[in-house]
Chains A and B, each alone.
With several copies, the nearest count.
Chain A
């Protein structure tokens, strides 16, 4: 847990809606992302974080619009690079609570490389991926998490015929240290998990099932399909792997929680100023 969450910076008096900005979301009525927005504000309130010490970073997509709807600092960057902005920010400003948020396309298609390396690097930030198994913003193409036989992807008529990307398995394989799944349609279940993810030191991955009611109405069924995972949270990567590899994608909960130390670039000032570096150039 980082500095900003300590003593003087907490804000016990704020409630969830104090974390909302007055900007109206562009989302379609019924979009799962509304639930994520609600859950996140509730978590921030629960953690009593001061909005001025929180930065929410995103890429591009429907889901990536979320920073503007929050009363925290925000950065709506370019497609696929949210984690890298978050990394730079957190390394430079360890006192802040950094949350990175976005979609499955942003995070696992164009942003896949940064996802891998964020898991390895273990910088203390929380990554909330709103997965709707498609590209919403560009009006309905397949994403890495789309089912191989999803016929309606507009660039993959007849199906993608590719193995879907399993974010939790790949996350674990790449070294993610905190892995959870929540449902965007069930804020009450999601809040404690998101809070725990934010609290957890190092990189925390929160996979959110967040239905797109416009381009895949079948996702409305997700609400009924999700369930709490039957296994308790493990810190054994092997166990977690076994569980996740046979997971059908609807088990909710904190599915892995390791104890790897967060990325820490030790840099202690050893000289007074730039002038002290000049000696090395003397002939």
Chain B
């Protein structure tokens, strides 16, 4: 089955309901058996400003947008030009909307169909323009009315009543009727059977669900864009399992609450973004030194400082790996796709618990706030396996220098298990010590438990041609567009290898060496300004191949076409 996909963007100004229409379109597509993603973009207004809902729908699960949108549908055109750099059109694209389409789009699109959804809506009692647009879009993409109806009923009946469902449906139908004037567009063929097993989920929800599957039962929360939805999803869902979420006064409190709960034996987590992770590094160090496991999800956004809160960037690798003072070995992971947010978070909980160390999960806005229709993700099975001291006696030493570096932890309430956890350097029993021998012993132990651990195959996803001489190395959400580009080039005959690294730290140079066996050239692609992953590779891996860094900061996502271009340039050198 070859991939067929179609991309559509809807735009509208404040209050136009474009996001609602977009969400319904995605849901309906999902119900009809398609896969897809929807990303959102909005102007600077806090609420109700201009917005764009950008969808791609396909007969197979997809990881990124295409280079261009096939359809641009304007509910209105007010301020739509603000999105010109995000909504790339070419002469196969069509635009649909009232008169006054911004020049940026007339110049690039192939055809324009005039159709005012607002005018059509006016003909319908309580008719809303966004519902007409939904109808237009559904018609063009061949989403059946029945799927739209289900979605409308589900989302409107309870809250707004039957009347709202009826008038919306009427508007949708009017839109469909109007769209029949537009030449039909080749749309992906849906497989209605698939729908039963499919999920509609954002990366942030997936992180939340992964956390719960991993065994997290305490969460401390301080909101920050674009991580808030991880916490909000957990706020409603964690209590159902008897877990607890506390809204903290700030990030200093949230991370330390998590440390406190984990000291009590409950797997604990917090989620934040750049500014918050910066505030947490002192206490991440406490988690390292006191060997209290915690998980911190950093849903990355544009930096530095407050930066660009609502846009994606992969620029917190440095702080996640190196942002702790002193030598503080810990674990850093990064999901590659929305679906992978589930597994990676679950695995990260496992790693934190197993290694009694903080694990930082580097998600990003592009994963976190994109909604995708994907095949349901099975539970990866990782459960907390914290080493617990069994029947400790007087000889119990909390920080015993064990062979693998992991020391059984005594939980409060354990008979004869009393000890004091400490961020000061300490002896094996936990007593503060400034002696060289104690310091070296504990440093070695803390490093050994992490470096010596067998992280298995999860550390990276490798695909493509085993005998390729060129490899693309990447991490995080850029993996999506790169996979797409690599697949395209391979289909056109180029031999390529693709490696998406999921375990950022500790480095796995031996494993990497094996993967890059025949490779002569490595292209490292990431979404930041300084090539953080590239420099990290240079510092901690010994790659024999020639390496080139492609680092493009946000806020725009890296496009498959850019990747193809780089790969073409590179392979010609």
Contacts and interface: CB of A to CB of B under 8 A. Distances in A.
A contacts B directly (C-beta below 8 A):
yes
A279 to B, nearest CB: 10
A107 to B, nearest CB: 12
Contacts of A92: 217-218, 244, 260-262, 264-266, 268
Contact of A214 (B47, B264, B415): B47
A93 B266 contact: yes
A144 interface: yes
A155 B419 contact: no
A87 interface: yes
Contacts of A269: 240-242
Given A78-B275, A157-B235, A278-B376, A267 B46 contact: no
Interface in B247-265: 247-254, 256-265
A35 interface: no
A96 B260 contact: no
Interface in A133-168: 135-139, 141-142, 144, 153-157, 160
Contacts of A78: 256, 275, 282-283, 285-286, 305-306, 423
Nearest to A53: B413
Indicate the member of B212, B228, B251 with the most A CB atoms within 10 Å.
B228
Indicate the member of B235, B247, B250, B430 with the most A CB atoms within 10 Å.
B247
Nearest to A111: B250
Nearest to A139: B228
B256 A74 contact: no
B50 interface: no
Contact of A84 (B260, B262, B414): B260
Nearest to B266: A92
B228 A138 contact: yes
B246 A88 contact: yes
Given A75-B263, A81-B252, A271 B223 contact: no
A57 B260 contact: yes
B246 to A, nearest CB: 6
Given A72-B418, A265-B246, A28 B46 contact: yes
A68 interface: yes
Contacts of B257: 84-85, 87-88, 91
A68 B422 contact: yes
Contacts of A70: 420
Indicate the member of B195, B258, B413, B432 with the most A CB atoms within 10 Å.
B413
A257 interface: no
Nearest to A71: B418
B467 interface: no
Given A52-B413, A281-B376, A283-B27, A271 B241 contact: yes
Contacts of A74: 418-421
A234 interface: no
A41 to B, nearest CB: 14
B264 A96 contact: yes
A60 interface: yes
A121 B248 CA distance: 10
A282 B376 CA distance: 8
B195 A77 contact: no
Contacts of A187: none
Interface string B399-416: 000000000000011111
A166 B47 CA distance: 28
A159 B419 CA distance: 37
A88 B44 contact: no
A266 B239 CA distance: 8
Interface stretch (A112-120, A199-207, A225-233, A235-243): A112-120
Interface stretch (B51-59, B156-164, B198-206, B525-533): B198-206
B243 interface: yes
Nearest to A74: B420
Interface in A15-43: 21, 23, 26-29, 31
A223 interface: no
A62 B30 CA distance: 36
A88 B261 contact: yes
Given A52-B412, A79-B275, A88 B247 contact: no
Given A93-B412, A154-B235, A26 B44 contact: yes
Contact of A155 (B45, B195, B245, B250): B245
Contacts of A28: 45-48
A88 B259 contact: yes
Nearest to B243: A267
A268 B261 CA distance: 18
A283 B200 contact: yes
Contact of A51 (B241, B418, B421): B418
A18 B210 CA distance: 44
A110 interface: yes
A75 B260 contact: yes
B232 A270 contact: no
Contacts of A60: 306
Given A74-B421, A274-B212, A281-B200, A114 B253 contact: yes
Contacts of B213: 274
A75 B420 contact: yes
B260 A89 contact: yes
Contacts of A276: 240
B238 A89 contact: no
A91 B263 CA distance: 12
B46 A138 contact: no
5 contacts: A23-B431, A85-B260, A88-B256, A269-B241, A283-B27
Interface of A: 4, 21, 23, 26-29, 31, 51-53, 55, 57, 60, 62, 67-68, 70-81, 84-93, 95-96, 109-110, 112-114, 116-117, 135-139, 141-142, 144, 153-157, 160, 214, 265-271, 273-278, 281-283
List 3 tightest A-B contacts by C-beta distance, closest first.
A88-B260, A88-B257, A74-B420
Given A93-B266, A138-B223, 6 more contacts: A93-B413, A137-B46, A265-B245, A266-B239, A271-B240, A281-B209
